[in-house]
Amino acid sequence: MPYQELTQKIVTPDIYSSYFSKITCQRAWMQIDLDALTYNVTQIKNLLSTGTALMAVVKADGYGHGGVTVAKTVLKAGANALAVATLMEGIELREAGVNSPILVLGVTNTPEEVVANIHWNLEATICCLEQAFMISRTLSQYKKQLSVHLKLDTGMSRLGTPWYQGTRLIKLVHKLPYLKLSGIYSHLSASDDPDKESIELQHQRFETVVSDLKNQNKFCLHFANSAATINYPQLHYNLVRVGLALYGIYPSPHLRSQVSLKPILQVKAKITQIKTISQGTKVSYGNQFTSKHSMIIAIVSIGYADGVPRNLSNRLQVLIHGQRAHQIGAITMDQLILDVSHVKDIKVGDIVTLIGKDGEQEITANDWALELGTISWEILCGFKRRLPRVNIQNIPNKNK
C-alpha cells in the first residue's frame, strides 16, 4: 500500500493524541489489521462446541497489539468475555469503556486489590485458602459481593491450588460470605505438544475435581488455551481462553491444518539515509561487521528500544520493494543498517517491512522466534509503546 494512501487510513492509536497521529508513520510503526482480527475470532468460534463461550485473552497490552483496541474489536466480533493478567490491565479496559466480563488471571493478595476489583467490577482469581479468607474478610467490611474464579494446579506448577485440594477449596468458597463462585479453571503446560500424555493427565486431574460439582452449568469451567481449543474439543467445557490464535499465530506448526488464521501484525519503518561504503568498512557498534566489497547501505529508523531484538544483529532479514535484504552490524537502540546493494531504485523514505508481507514475500514473528530460539509470544510482547499502533480496518489490502 502506498505510504500516502496508508496515512489517510490511520485510526488514532490509543496511546497517542490527535496531534501525534499526524506524524505516526514518519519513523516506524506497527500496523494492526482489525479485519484479520475479526476473521480470526470468527474462525475460532466456528471450532467451538455447542454451548461453549469464548474468553479472549488480551493481557500484555493485547499481546503487544494494543489492548483496548483489541478488546473492543474481539467483543464486537463475538467474544463473550476478556482475560487480563493484572489488575491495572483490567482497570485500563474499564476506563476505556469496555463493559464485558473481565477476569484477572493474576493473584489478588491485598485488601486494596479486592476493593479495586469491586470498584471496577472485575472478576478475581483465587489460588489458595488464605487468599479466599482475605478476600471474604474484605468483602464483609464493605458488604459487597465479588465474582471469583478458582484456579487449580493440575500440572503447570505455577499459580493455583493443588488439584487434589480443589474440592476442599470449592466447598470453602461456597460457605464464605460475599464470594460468588463464577468459574473454575486450570492451565495446560504443553497443549501444543503432539504427545498427548501430559494433556491427558492434566485433563484427568481437572475432571476428578469438577465431576463432583453439582449443577456444573452454574459455573464457567475453562481449561483450553489456543492450542487446546483448536485441537482438543473435549477440553472446551463451557468456556475457552484463547490468546495467541486471536492474533493469527499458530501455537504449533502442526495446527495449521486445523483452522485458518491471519496474522494481524505488520512492523514497518522508513529508510532515513542511504550511502555507499567501500571494501573494509566497519559497520555499527563493536565492529561486528566489515564489508568485503563496496556496498550500498540503508539506515532504518527502528531499533531495540522499539522491540527489535539486538540478538538478531547480522541475522535479521527485512523486505523492501518485495525483496529480502540483510541487516548488517549491531542493531542499535533507535536504528539498524541494511545491505541494499541489490535493491533497485532505493530511496530515502521507502518503507521497510520487518514483520509482514511485501509482494509474495513474508516474514513472521515466528521466523524471529525460531532464529532466536524463543517463542512467538515473547516477540509479540517485546514491541515497545513508543512504536505507534496504526489500526487498519475495512481497507482492501493486497498484502493481507
Tell me the C-alpha distance between 104 and 86, whole Å: 6
According to DSSP, the β-strands at 361-363 and 351-358 are: antiparallel
Tell me the C-alpha distance between 223 and 142, whole Å: 32
Report the largest interatomic distance among the alpha carbons of the chain, rounded to a whole angstrom: 78
- Has 333 been labeled as part of a binding site? yes
Pick from 162, 64, 145, 128: nearest CA to 387: 64
What are the residues whose beta carbons fall under 8 Å from the beta carbon of 57, sequence distance 6 or more? 63, 82, 83, 84, 241, 242, 243, 246
Set 39, 59, 72, 357: catalytic member: 59
What number of helices (H) and strands (E) belong to the chain?
Answer: 13, 20
Tell me the C-alpha distance between 321 and 73, whole Å: 31
Q: What is the DSSP string of 277-342?
A: E-TT-EESGGG-EE-SS-EEEEEES--TTTT--GGGTTT-EEEETTEEEEEES---SS-EEEE-TT
Residue 59 is a catalytic residue: yes
Q: Give the amino acid at 342.
A: H
Q: Which residues pair with 328 in a beta bridge?
A: 337
According to DSSP, the β-strands at 28-33 and 265-277 are: antiparallel
Provide the grid cell at 385. 509503546
Tell me the C-alpha distance between 135 and 312, whole Å: 46
What are the residues whose beta carbons fall under 8 Å from the beta carbon of 370, sequence distance 6 or more? none
Q: What is the DSSP string of 4-17?
A: HHHHHTPBPPTTS-
Set 3, 76, 285, 384: catalytic member: 285
39-to-35, 101, 245, 280 alpha-carbon distances in Å: 6, 22, 11, 50
Tell me the C-alpha distance between 58 and 185, whole Å: 17
Residues comprising the binding site for substrate? 158, 333
Which residues participate in catalysis according to the annotation?
Answer: 59, 285
Residues comprising the binding site? 158, 333
